[in-house]
Amino acid sequence: MLWLALGPFRAMENQVLVIRIKIPNSGAVDWTVHSGPQLLFRDVLDVIGQVLPEATTTAFEYEDEDGDRITVRSDEEMKAMLSYYYSTVMEQQVNGQLIEPLQIFPRVTADTVV
């Protein structure tokens, strides 16, 4: 199996990544990324800024396998999130399941009205 030899990043580097940006109190926006493993934290914040132009966002969260929210504030934490997600995708593929988008939850500062 390719994943065992190269890890989830290498196995998924040519895959399209769909990130679902959850908008507080109003739904979600799907963002298709063609270079997922090269994606930087700043890139995600820039897109969140386009989705929520009135908001100030310095971090975002994702949910782990236990449903706990994990905060992402740096490229290192971003890589950990992507590694977790790609591992989940590989498991879903092996089990013949539908691939779910990576859901992220922007952390909007208290002085921002959304």
pLDDT tens across 24-71, in order? 888 999 999 987 778 999 999 999 999 999 889 999 999 999 999 999
Residue in the block written with tokens 């994943």:
3
Domain that holds residue 84: 11-108
Higher pLDDT, 53 or 5: 53
State yes or no: pLDDT of 82 exceeds 80: yes
Q: Is residue 15 part of a domain?
A: yes
Q: Is residue 6 part of a domain?
A: no
State yes or no: pLDDT of 12 exceeds 70: no
Residue 110: pLDDT band (50, 70, 90) is low
32: CB partners within 8 A, 6+ apart: 16, 17, 18
Residue 111: pLDDT band (50, 70, 90) is low
Query: In whole angstroms, how far apart are CA 100 and each of 20, 63, 65, 111?
Result: 9, 13, 13, 32
State yes or no: pLDDT of 5 exceeds 60: no
What's 76's domain CATH number?
Answer: 3.10.20.90
Q: Is residue 114 part of a domain?
A: no
Domain count, the chain: 1
Q: Is residue 4 part of a domain?
A: no
